[in-house]
Amino acid sequence: MSTSAGRAAFAVKEDKSMSANREISSSIFVAGDGDGYELQMGRFSRLLAPLFIDFAGIKESGRVLDVGCGTGSLTFELAKNPKIAWIEAVDFSPIYVEHAKRRSNDARLTFRVADACALPFEDASLDHTASMLVLAFVPQADQAVREMRRVTKAGGTVAAAMWDVRGGLVFARMFWDTAAMLDRRAVERRARSLSRPMTRPGDFTQAWQAAGLREVVEDAITIRMTFSSLQRMRRRSKSLNSST
């Protein structure tokens, strides 16, 4: 088993207008089938989701947006709260959106395909906006943060969480450190993996402040990742390697 920590940040939007930049951006995450993602990451996302929601302080709301919903771990956890009236969920992958739709039987949930850098919502139309384990896979992450700010009402919360790959994602750090010792060709891959934007301490704070958000709070959230065998852990490491 492994203990894993991620960086998380939230901030409050000030009452200032922000026009949208509608240039379409892509995701560098390679989306497979929904069941495969659930095996690879979904089970850990479900552990993280309630802790992240508690950190962000999303307790009661008219309308919440989940940016990069994947197969729906954060969305379905938000839906457990009857005080949230409506939850919008978007993801760049049609595969994950369809998987989440098939799992949903809650009339408050709406899933759609959309780009984090060009969110299909009006300015200041959502009470809170959250994104979990996504921003490191968005090439223009700063633009995604600005979009999250744009669609959130003044006084609302903009929050995100991402793995701390350098020091918190223990099994991944062990994998890359070992690989770099055994094969010099892995040194560059290790450096690239452990320095990905939006995974390092301070990255969220810098992006949130640059987007004009205030009362920014960044902290670590820790969950325990359990593997039934070394073989399963190796398969998880291989999946992580294929997406770097």
Residue 119 has pLDDT above 80, yes or no: yes
Lowest-confidence region among 13-17, 20-24, 39-43: 20-24
End-to-end CA distance of the chain: 22
Q: CB under 8 Å to 44, separation ≥6 — which residues?
A: 4, 223, 225
Lowest-confidence region among 37-41, 93-97, 127-131, 204-208: 37-41
Lowest-confidence region among 13-22, 122-131, 141-150, 177-186: 13-22
Are the beta carbons of 148 and 123 closer than 8 angstroms?
Answer: no
In SS3 terms, 123-188 reads as CCCEEEEEEECCHHHCCCHHHHHHHHHHHEEEEEEEEEEEECCCCCEHHHHHHHHHHHHHCCCHHH
Q: What is the pLDDT of residue 166?
A: 73
Residue 169 has pLDDT above 80, yes or no: no
Q: What is the pLDDT of residue 7?
A: 56
Q: What residue ranges define each of the domains in the chain, with the CATH number in brackets?
A: 2-163+198-242 (3.40.50.150)
Residue 49 has pLDDT above 70, yes or no: yes
Top pLDDT among 83 and 241 is at: 83
At residue 109's C-alpha, the angle toward residues 60 and 115, to 5°, is: 100
Consecutive H or E run containing 50: helix 43-56
Residue count of the chain: 244
How far from 179 is each of 117, 172, 233, 242, CA to CA, in Å? 34, 10, 15, 14
B/e letters for 177-193, b = 16+ CB within 10 Å, e = fewer, are: eebbeeeeebeeebeeb
Band of the pLDDT at 183, cuts 50, 70, 90?
A: very high
Distance CA(11)–CA(21), nearest Å, equals: 21
Lowest-confidence region among 34-38, 68-72, 145-149: 34-38
Average pLDDT on 49-70 reads 96
Residue 198 has pLDDT above 80, yes or no: yes
Distance CA(66)–CA(132), nearest Å, equals: 8
Top pLDDT among 225 and 99 is at: 99
Band of the pLDDT at 175, cuts 50, 70, 90?
A: confident
At residue 74's C-alpha, the angle toward residues 36 and 2, to 5°, is: 60
Percent of the chain with pLDDT over 70: 77
Q: What is the pLDDT of residue 176?
A: 83
Average pLDDT on 82-99 reads 96
Average pLDDT on 163-170 reads 77
Rounded to the nearest integer, the mean pLDDT of the chain is: 83
The pair of structure tokens assigned to 227 is: 């593997």
